[in-house]
Amino acid sequence: MTAIKGAGHVWLDGKQVTNLAEHAAFKGTFQTIQELLARIDDEPVGYKDAKLGKYVHQAFSIPTTKEQLLEKRAAFEAWSIQSFGMMSRLSDYAYALITGYYIDREQFAQYDATFPQKIERYYEQLKSERRLLTTAIADPQIDRSKPLTERPEHALLHVVEETTDGIYVSGAKMIATGAPYVDDILVNTPYSKAEEQEKFANFFIVSTQSPGLEIICRKSHAAQDLALYPLASQFDEMDAVVVFNRVFIPNDRIFIRGNAEGVVKAHRHQQLNELAHYQTVIRLLTKLKFVAGVTTAVAESIRVTEFLNVQQKVGELYMQVDTIEALLHTSETNGFVQENGVFTPSAVQLQVVRNLGTSYYSRAISILKEIGAGGFTQLPSTLIERFEDEALQKQLETYYVGAASSAKQKTALFRIGWELVGSELGSRHDLYERFYTGDPFRIQSLFFENYDKLPLDDYLDTFLTKIQQREELLL
């Protein structure tokens, strides 16, 4: 069994957390991660690495055929189903990200000649030690209107000292999901202006055990009682701000140093890496299926499925699921072997999902809310069987019963629904799906920028040529 070490300095409610496995806010998720890690020891999540002679996560495999890509899909599906898509950064996305950098390592040698060797070493280490990894890119939201040169230096992560062995950095990054549990954090700062290159334009991986690194957690949304909070008791993966107080980054973990073009390229690689986005699409699909399933069951439990408006709304959820499924399938079918011999899914459909995902989840939650309606607030504050008055218990069973389900079944279902639509954890997930992959507006603009517009121009040219031919005929 892989041991989770967790970060060195984790702060919650103003206090330092010393033992994640025992702390009320972390132990449920800790247990879930342990269960996830154990799945690496078997297929479909793991595969036997020939060099290491042991099972490693499929996210590290480098597919050369469509069949091998589909093995990856099976692994991502199995891993995400374990948390119904509710845990997203632990750590298959990051594994796929590093695999992508490893595959394309020579492209970054121009920014640091040792990049290929360093990423290869890290890829092997991550794979064999089963280290957990997350990412932290954005700066704290202080004053977004100011150009970098006018922002206070302390607000930006910057180099404070350089030695022959590495650099010392200070500042902060928001947000790193899963930070308390992970071993390492990938930090990048995609600043593109030449004048900021030296201090700010750095791409490195920091150990969460590093002296001076503080993990500042948001409010915990975790709960203890599995029956009352089936989601929050298992799946609060936590988000945190990462504070650096003269944190030392050794040379072998610095991948790009003081090069704006390099860090932007590394960031774009993160945003466009097909293997990493393949994982996010599969995870989103799992979550949308889960919400569609819960919504269907809620509708059936109060038999509102007979009404056309309800059918139309639940049907919209099925269309969401089938749209993502179809895009995923097309990206696999249109996948191809790149010049480097790697079979990758077609990027454009994955990027379409990335854009759709920022609004699909909110819409799905809104539909669930509209269908369960007042039923979500009708829930008693505890389980009916925990009421101390037996006569009242029996009476409540008649009021909380469903059209074709017992009161126990129906209230258990509505509790899951409430966690999705009304709890703190639920709101956090709505926010997460809108923003985790970046600002949706700027992502759409990136999609516009990268889209192959040539075939569209061809259509127009054909039309204009036809008009010209017709005009000539009429002359």
Ligand X SMILES: Cc1cc2nc3c(=O)[nH]c(=O)nc-3n(C[C@H](O)[C@H](O)[C@H](O)COP(=O)(O)OP(=O)(O)OC[C@H]3O[C@@H](n4cnc5c(N)ncnc54)[C@H](O)[C@@H]3O)c2cc1C
239, β-bridge pairs: 177
CA angle 231, 238, 183 (to 5 degrees): 125
83 token code pair: 């948390």
In the set 62, 81, 138, 272, which binds ligand X (CB under 6 A)? 138
Is residue 144 part of an annotated ligand binding site?
yes
Whether 416 and 294 have beta carbons less than 8 Å apart is answered as yes
Task: Give the phi and the psi of residue 367 in degrees, each rounded to 5.
Answer: -65, -45
Question: By Cβ distance, which residue is nearest to ligand X?
Answer: 177
Q: Output the DSSP codes for 56-106.
A: EEGGG---SSHHHHHHHHHHHHHHHHTTTT----SSHHHHHHHHHHHHTGG
Q: Which stretch binds ligand X (CB under 6 A): 11-19, 129-137, 341-349, 460-468?
A: 129-137
Is residue 442 part of an annotated ligand binding site?
yes
Residue 176 interacts with ligand X (CB under 6 A)? Answer: yes
Question: Any residues with CB less than 8 A from the CB of 252 and at least 6 apart, and which?
Answer: 118, 121
Is residue 239 part of an annotated ligand binding site?
no
Q: Which is nearer to ligand X, 15 or 144 (CB)?
A: 144
Residue-wise over 216-243: b if at least 16 C-beta within 10 A, else e? bbeebbbbeeeebbbbbbbbbbbbbbbb
Is residue 141 part of an annotated ligand binding site?
yes
The CA distance from 203 to 201, in Å, is 7
Smallest CA-to-CA distance from 170 within 262, 240, 266, 249 is with 249
Is residue 143 part of an annotated ligand binding site?
yes
Is residue 441 part of an annotated ligand binding site?
yes
Site string for ligand X, 424-463 (x = CB under 6 A): ----x--xx--xx-xx-x----------------------
Residue 204 interacts with ligand X (CB under 6 A)? Answer: no
In the set 169, 172, 175, 205, which binds ligand X (CB under 6 A)? 175
Bridge pairing between strands 239-250 and 9-12:
unpaired
Smallest CA-to-CA distance from 205 within 128, 101, 280 is with 101
Q: Which stretch binds ligand X (CB under 6 A): 131-139, 153-161, 338-346, 373-381?
A: 131-139
Is residue 209 part of an annotated ligand binding site?
no
Residue 144 interacts with ligand X (CB under 6 A)? Answer: yes
Burial zone of 436 (CB within 10 Å; 0-12 exposed, 13-18 middle, 19+ buried): middle
Q: How far is the CB of 392 from ligand X (least distance, A)?
A: 40
Q: Which is nearer to ligand X, 344 or 437 (CB)?
A: 437
240, β-bridge pairs: 176, 217
Residue 320 interacts with ligand X (CB under 6 A)? Answer: no
Is residue 142 part of an annotated ligand binding site?
yes
Residue 171: its H or E element: strand 166-177
In the set 15, 141, 308, 470, which binds ligand X (CB under 6 A)? 141
Q: How far is the CB of 187 from ligand X (least distance, A)?
A: 9
Site string for ligand X, 238-267 (x = CB under 6 A): -x----------------------------
Q: How far is the CB of 44 from ligand X (least distance, A)?
A: 25
Residue 355 interacts with ligand X (CB under 6 A)? Answer: no
Site string for ligand X, 48-87 (x = CB under 6 A): ----------------------------------------
Residue 278 interacts with ligand X (CB under 6 A)? Answer: no
Residue 137 interacts with ligand X (CB under 6 A)? Answer: yes
Bridge pairing between strands 54-57 and 166-177:
unpaired
Residue 387 interacts with ligand X (CB under 6 A)? Answer: no
The CA distance from 437 to 237, in Å, is 16
Residue 194 interacts with ligand X (CB under 6 A)? Answer: no
Q: Which is nearer to ligand X, 441 or 448 (CB)?
A: 441
In the set 57, 73, 89, 410, which binds ligand X (CB under 6 A)? 89
Residue 237 interacts with ligand X (CB under 6 A)? Answer: no
Q: How far is the CB of 277 from ligand X (least distance, A)?
A: 14
Task: Give the phi and the psi of residue 77 in degrees, each rounded to 5.
Answer: -65, -50
Smallest CA-to-CA distance from 115 within 207, 206, 203 is with 203
> Binding residues for ligand X, how many (CB under 6 A)?
20
150 token code pair: 């006018």
Residue with tokens 């593109």, as numbered in its chain: 192
Residue 203 interacts with ligand X (CB under 6 A)? Answer: no
Q: Which parts are annotated binding residues?
A: 141-144, 177, 439-442
**Rule CB under 6 A: which residues touch ligand X?**
89, 134-138, 141, 144, 175-177, 239, 428, 431-432, 435-436, 438-439, 441
Q: Which parts are annotated binding residues for FAD?
A: 141-144, 177, 439-442
